[in-house]
Amino acid sequence: MLSINDLRASIEGKEILKGINLEVKPGEVHAIMGPNGSGKSTLASVLAGREEYEVTGGNVVFDGKDILELAPEERAAEGIFLAFQYPVEIPGVTTINFLKTAVNEIRKYRGEVPLDAAQFLKMVREKAKLVSMNDSLLKRALNEGFSGGEKKRNEIFQMAVLEPKLAILDETDSGLDIDALRIVAEGVNSLRSPERATIVVTHYQRLLDYIVPDYVHVLYKGRIVKSGPKELAFELEEKGYDWIKAEVEAVG
């Protein structure tokens, strides 16, 4: 489904990703872990098409298409979704109106007829239940004045509405208390299916108690330096990242 080959990217002339290789198949959950500044969020941003980053090498093939050629909105329409670490507040645009526009723009891209208001509302109500999203939040301006937990829940709610093939969760656990974490994780898990894949970017193992990954990768200095089964996450939680750093420096 997703194939990242020797991906290199830089910002303001500084190389952050130094040759990433990753294969993600339908149905899989991959966790990307690593110390601060290792390039985790950069990877998530480059996949979603954030324009501040310059891709300097490699390619990313998603369902047979080189997505690096596509605009962010085209990637979304192809089925990639990024749950933001810091969801943006947009005054004056209600969550519901925002999502309706998004759903119908994506449908247009795919050559489908737009949903009418009734169909859309019915679908949205169902999805809102998944993440215990209150109706009143939907009518408020997007993320404006939302608590940290509400913002993250809103990300997962949007994900549920857009039904992406590949969801990338960028530090979705940051700033969440344990109850909010559980709700968000339940939302993510309810969307797991054999056709969909998830990349969970996180600093801590905590979220992975709830969203259990098939593979764990450690990103360090812009490269994936270690990959393993879910137990690797426990090891990192127990021992921290220093032993990984030491291993890399020893080889390096």
Partner 1 sequence: MSTETIDLKTRLITDFYAREAVLNGEASSEYHQKKREGLARFEKLGFPTIRHEEWKYSNVKDLISVSYDFNAESSIGLAELEDLKVPAQEANILYFVNGRYNAGLSTIISPVEKITISSLAEAYKNDPARVSSYFNELTKDADDAFTALNTAFTQDGVFIHIPDNQQVEHPIILRFVSDAREQNVGSQPRNIISVGKNSHVKLAEAFRTLGEQRSFTNVVTEIHVAEEANVQYYKVQNESDNAYHVGTTQVRMLDRSHFYAGTVTLNGKFTRNNLNIVLDGERCDAHMYGLYFPDGSQHVDNHTVADHQKPNSESNELYKGILRDKSKGVFNGKIFVRPDAQKTNAFQSCKNIVLSPDATMNTKPQLEIYADDVKCSHGTTTGQIDEEALFYMRSRGISRPEAMSLLMFAFCADVVSQIKIDSVRDYLENVITQKLASK
User: Which parts of this chain interact with partner 1 (CB under 8 A)?
Assistant: 48-51, 71-73, 75-77, 81-82, 84, 87-88, 90-93, 97-99, 101-103, 105-106, 109, 141, 158, 162
Q: Is 232 exposed, middle or buried (0-12, 13-18, 19+ CB in 10 A)?
A: buried
Nearer to partner 1 by Cβ, of 71 and 246: the residue is 71
- At a CB cut-off of 8 Å and minimum separation 6, what does 78 contact? 62, 63, 65, 67, 70, 165
CB of 37 to partner 1, least distance (A): 21
CB of 45 to partner 1, least distance (A): 9
Nearer to partner 1 by Cβ, of 77 and 197: the residue is 77
CB of 63 to partner 1, least distance (A): 16
In the DSSP assignment, the letter for residue 85 is S
CB of 70 to partner 1, least distance (A): 11
CA-angle at 228, arms to 7 and 219, nearest 5°: 35
Closest to 96 measured CA to CA, from 132, 116, 121 = 121
Nearer to partner 1 by Cβ, of 201 and 224: the residue is 201
217 in Cβ contact with 33 (< 8 Å): yes
Nearer to partner 1 by Cβ, of 55 and 141: the residue is 141
